[in-house]
Amino acid sequence: MAFLVAGTLRVAAHMADAQDSLARKGTYSLRAPRAALTICSPEVPDSTVAILEATLQALGFHSCQRREASAQGFLGELARFREQLDAQGGPVSCALVALVAPREQLRRPQLLVRELSRCEALQGHPKILLLLSSAPRAAPEPGAFLTGLRELCGRCPHWSLLQLLTEVFGLASRESCRASYCPVLRSSLRGTLFLQEAGLWDQEEGSPGAQYDLSGARAALILAVLRERPGAQRDVEALRGLCESLGFQTVLRTDPTAQDFQEELAQFRERLHTCRGPVGCVLVALMAHGGPRGQLLGADGEEVQSEALVRRLSRCRALRGCPKIFLLQACRGGHRDAGMGPAVSPRFWRWLRPSPPTPSHADVLQICADAPGGPTPESLDLADVLRVYAATEGYVAYRGERGSDFIQTLVEVVRAYPGEDLLELLAEVSRQVCALDVLGPDCSEPRKACPEVRSSLRRRLCLSRAGVAAPGCANSGSPLTHSRPVGRGASPSDLVQVSNPQPDAGS
């Protein structure tokens, strides 16, 4: 009996902590213990490990395990770390795993992410994976990146982790002598993460001052397949209205073929080149059925690669140094996520109110400090890029008659707080989307969707219309605006809950 009572109380405490992990209106609670693990390949210098451990302490991880392993042993070491956390019998408020190895050994981080996400003690809590290349010519050297992060933590303890990383990305890329250097983060966080205790109380100290200058022209391109995608029209209208309210001149093309996707993007890029003044910001929304290899299906059923479109526009000379936002409402595979909840014996359900499940890949932050040639090859041309996906890699993105949860929630949140940091707003979008249950057309059980953010932004990005200059592009009276009629949409407040959702998957 004592064992049963102890087990029940332990599960109840776990549930209460999971329910409270985002109780501060989208801010993670870090009241439970934290855990950190460093896995280094044998050739990593001790000096680099020492700097890493000092940085982890500055971030609030006061004790850190250190293990040495070859690339083949990384997954096994992480599995042992996960088992150790689960064996403690209580929740862990945050876990950070740092991998330091030659660049070629860091190519498959998703296997490690899946292993860490299996940890029951971390369900509903942030999981951070830091990838550092130990290559002799890494740009910058791992120690330089870590030192910058540690010093910034000391000066600005009230900044969130995403704000700290954005600032460090900017400092690192400006100081790097290699033109190909571009750090990047990949996030499914559902809230703001302050690793310093001061972050919860010292908000009056202000936010990062380094912001993108959005006083130049703003341009948006919306390419949306409406055919056989019920509700897509609602998304188009909601997003178009948001863009125009924020001062973006908007190009809208509905039902593009695969060739049209490429041609419209090329024409959009050419218009940007002919602008008389500087371009402040661009936004591109791609909405279509999708597939597991990043392909989008045009209205003709032919495929076009979304990543190729992103790279093509990102390399536009007129956009060097300005933020480029890509929104992708499309499936990225066929997996349907039932979500994860605490493991509880059925006999306990009558006494305990279970916490709602969270998507399996939520609450993860990957930081690639030396991206070229590594897990997500980037170049300076792809700096200042923000990609936002409606679903994590390999999973279905849902859409219903009243639109998609992702687009409708994003529009509602940005309309409400246009002057806030967009990265933080996207975490709030993820929180709201992840809280919803959807019923797909081919299953009777509730399913979950989890947006994913990839960012190489180097400054704070706020889309407030304040300070927007009059657009100044050549060759027209209304140079960046044309569309086919798509009908009226509904207000954002009508569109948050999806009914009878359909997956945006390709055939």
Is 62 labeled as catalytic in the residue annotation?
no
| H/E run at residue 2 | helix 2-20
Strands (DSSP E) found in 211-278: 217-224, 249-254
Quote the crossing angle between the two packed helices 142-155 and 46-58, to the nearest 10°.
20
Buried b (16+ CB within 10 A) or exposed e, 70-106: ebeebbebbeebbeebbeeeebbbbbbbbbbbbbebb
The CB-side HSE value for 247 (13 A sphere, CA atoms) comes to: 20
Cβ atoms < 10 Å from Cβ of 329: 31
Is 289 labeled as catalytic in the residue annotation?
yes
The answer to whether 155 and 168 are in contact (CB under 8 A) is: no
Cβ atoms < 10 Å from Cβ of 250: 22
Compute φ and ψ for 331, nearest 5 degrees.
-65, 155
For the CA atoms of 107, 378, 284, 166, what is the dihedral angle to 10 degrees? 90
- Read off the amino acid at residue 436: L
- Find the catalytic residue in 14, 125, 158, 289: 289
Name the token pair of 461.
């990005």
- Find the catalytic residue in 331, 368, 450, 473: 331
State how far the Cα of 336 lies from the Cα of 446, in Å rounded to an integer.
10
Instruction: Write out the catalytic residue numbers.
Output: 289, 331
